Amino acid sequence: GAVVSQHPSWVICKSGTSVKIECRSLDFQATTMFWYRQFPKQSLMLMATSNEGSKATYEQGVEKDKFLINHASLTLSTLTVTSAHPEDSSFYICSAIPGWLAGGKDEQFFGPGTRLTVL
């Protein structure tokens, strides 16, 4: 099956610093990637849709200047949390949809997630 990796798997940073999280599709090209955040014992909340070669589409209430998304290639999307604060601490998960899937099946392959802790 398709594999999605994330790096780092966890990060602890000081308040005010910026953190970059990478999401890579290892064995397929992903035209679309999604970024989610998940608080403990809660659901996956979609933050933005990342499309290769174009600007990301952010969900309502998500600050685009704070959560910068760059989908530079068909295998890599990055999420940068700028000027992080303790309330940004969460589990960030990306998913990718292979470009080769046809028929509208659109299975999303999830990365293992990145746990961000802001002190």
Partner 1 sequence: QQPVQSPQAVILREGEDAVINCSSSKALYSVHWYRQKHGEAPVFLMILLKGGEQKGHDKISASFNEKKQQSSLYLTASQLSYSGTYFCGTESRRVAAGNKLTFGGGTRVLVKP
- Looking at the Cβ atoms of 111 and 118, the one nearer to partner 1 is 111
Rounded to a whole number, what is the largest CA-CA distance in the chain? Answer: 45
Q: State in angstroms the smallest separation of the CB of 26 from partner 1.
A: 14
Q: State in angstroms the smallest separation of the CB of 87 from partner 1.
A: 21
Is the bond into 112 cis (omega within 30 degrees of 0)? no
46 part of the interface to partner 1, by CB under 8 A:
yes
Q: Which residues of the chain form contacts with partner 1 (CB under 8 A)?
A: 31-32, 34, 41-46, 49, 93, 97, 101, 104-113
